[in-house]
Chain A
């Protein structure tokens, strides 16, 4: 079974530029998450989708971050404009929904973003 696919693996941009990340979850997983992982810390949830709807975006900096999952499968996360403090690994994860509850999440390899 294919895992969570993310691209690109690495991205270097200058501050104030924009960047987009792509994620394709495990087939059949209704829930998709984007996490931000700053060096030396655990992953922090940015946004959660169930199918094509947003379930939780309370920690997404909406002035510069946006995400969509239009067809309920793959998803994109965009940052515009980027700041130095956005340098981090952006992880996508997906999970099944069982009896109305999200099961454990499976992660992709992540995209390492460096803002200079």
Chain B
């Protein structure tokens, strides 16, 4: 079945630094989603991408739909303590359900 890989698995950064993470797939997708999950909560949708090459921003967050359609990237600028959490990518192709990656755990040091 489809599998997603997320990199890095975890990261520790200083407050104010920029963050980059990515998600890769073994197959082509037509939709990518990025979610953030806080401890004890369900995932919250951050950004949705529907077209190869698309670049979409949501505040300090920017995500891109890779041109190969097998990857997606999420960047966070000027990180703050509340950015701490686990970031999941999810992707799907036509007529299929979303598959989730294993997540990138972000820790922000003051």
Given known A-B contacts A42-B88, A56-B97, A110 and B42 have beta carbons under 8 A apart: yes
* Residues of the B chain whose Cβ atoms lie less than 8 Å from the Cβ of A102: 97
Which are the 10 A-B pairs with shortest beta-carbon distances? A42-B100, A107-B42, A107-B43, A110-B42, A43-B100, A109-B42, A104-B48, A42-B102, A108-B42, A42-B88
Q: Does A22 contact B (CB under 8 A)?
A: no
* Residues of the A chain whose Cβ atoms lie less than 8 Å from the Cβ of B98: 45, 105
CA distance A109 to B48 in the complex (A): 20
Task: For B45, give its contact among A56, A104, A109 (CB under 8 Å).
Answer: A104
- Assess the B102–A41 pair: CB atoms within 8 A: yes
- Mark B residues whose CB is within 8 Å of A: 4, 31, 33, 35, 40-45, 48, 88, 90, 97-98, 100-103
Chain A nearest CB from B21 CB (Å) reads: 14
Which of A42, A106, A110 has the largest number of chain B CB atoms within 10 A?
A42
Chain B nearest CB from A6 CB (Å) reads: 8
* Residues of the A chain whose Cβ atoms lie less than 8 Å from the Cβ of B31: 104
CA distance A40 to B100 in the complex (A): 12
Q: Range of interface residues on chain A? A: 20 to 34
Q: Does A4 contact B (CB under 8 A)?
A: yes
Chain B residue at minimum C-beta to C-beta distance from A107: B42
Task: For A42, give its contact among B40, B41, B103 (CB under 8 Å).
Answer: B103
* Residues of the A chain whose Cβ atoms lie less than 8 Å from the Cβ of B102: 40-42
- Assess the B97–A109 pair: CB atoms within 8 A: no
Chain A nearest CB from B97 CB (Å) reads: 6
CA distance A48 to B33 in the complex (A): 18
* Residues of the A chain whose Cβ atoms lie less than 8 Å from the Cβ of B43: 43, 91, 107
CA distance A42 to B102 in the complex (A): 5
Given known A-B contacts A41-B102, A42-B103, A106 and B45 have beta carbons under 8 A apart: yes
CA distance A71 to B98 in the complex (A): 25
CA distance A33 to B88 in the complex (A): 17
Which residues 14-49 of A sit at the B interface, judged by CB distance below 8 A?
A: 33, 40-45, 48
CA distance A102 to B30 in the complex (A): 13
Given known A-B contacts A42-B103, A44-B100, A91 and B48 have beta carbons under 8 A apart: no
